[in-house]
Amino acid sequence: ILGMIKNSLFGSVETWPWQVLSKGDKEEVSYEERACEGGKFATVEVTDKPVDEALREAMPKVAKYAGGTNDKGIGMGMTVPISFAVFPNEDGSLQKKLKVWFRIPNQFQSDPPAPSDKSVKIEEREGITVYSMQFGGYAKEADYVAQATRLRAALEGTATYRGDIYFCTGYDPPMKPYGRRNEIWLLKT
C-alpha cells in the first residue's frame, strides 16, 4: 500500500481511457459528454449502510487489491478515477447501497490477478457514455447528491440519462489536501 500511496502522490497514475464527445455549459454548470472505455474492473458492493460508511468499508478493499493483496502478490498501481455507483430514491436521496468500480490498469487487463479478499470481484464491463461534471473538495454523500441535482438541472430538456443509477468519481488519494477533483457521471440512455 505504501508504494500505491507514493505513486498516487508523486508518480504517474493511469487514467481510465475516454474520449470527449461534446462540451456544454448551462446555468453556471460546465459538463462533458464522454465515451468511456470498457474493460475489466475490480468491484466491491456494500449494502445496508449509508453511502459514506459503505465507501469507508469498500475503498480500502479495492486499494489493497490494487496494492498487491491478490493471488500474484503484484502491486498494480492505481487508475483514476475510482468510481462508485449509487442508486437514488424518488426524492433524490440515496439508497443504502453502492458499488465501487476500479478499472484494472491496462497492463493487467488481459489477465488480472485474482483478489485474495472474496468480497472483491473481477467484472467485465462494456464501454459507457456519460455526462460528467467536475467539482472540488472532500466530497461526501450530500455533496454528490447536490452536484447530481445541479447536473440534471443543466441537462434538462437537452439530454436523456438513466434515473436509477449514477456514478460518483474521485481522482485523488485521501491525503491530498487541496486541488481535489471529483465528478458526477450520469449514464446516457
Residue 2 lies in a domain: no
Residue 88 lies in a domain: yes
Residue 83 lies in a domain: yes
pLDDT score for 98:
96
- Number of continuous H segments (helices) and E segments (strands) in the chain: 3, 11
Q: pLDDT per residue over 102-144, tens digit each?
A: 999 999 999 999 999 999 999 999 999 999 999 999 999 999 9
Q: What is the CATH number of the domain that holds 54?
A: 3.20.80.10
Residue 49 lies in a domain: yes
d(CA 17, CA 106): 10
pLDDT score for 11:
52
Q: Where in the sequence is the domain holding 151, given as residue range(s)?
A: 8-188
Sequence-distant (≥ 6) Cβ neighbours of residue 146 within 8 angstroms: none
pLDDT score for 9:
45
Residue 113 lies in a domain: yes
Residue 1 lies in a domain: no
Residues of the chain with pLDDT under 50: 1-10
Contact 115, 40 (CB under 8 A): no
Sequence-distant (≥ 6) Cβ neighbours of residue 175 within 8 angstroms: 5, 9
pLDDT score for 109:
97
Between the two ends of the chain, the Cα-to-Cα distance in Å is 38
Our count of domains for the chain comes to 1
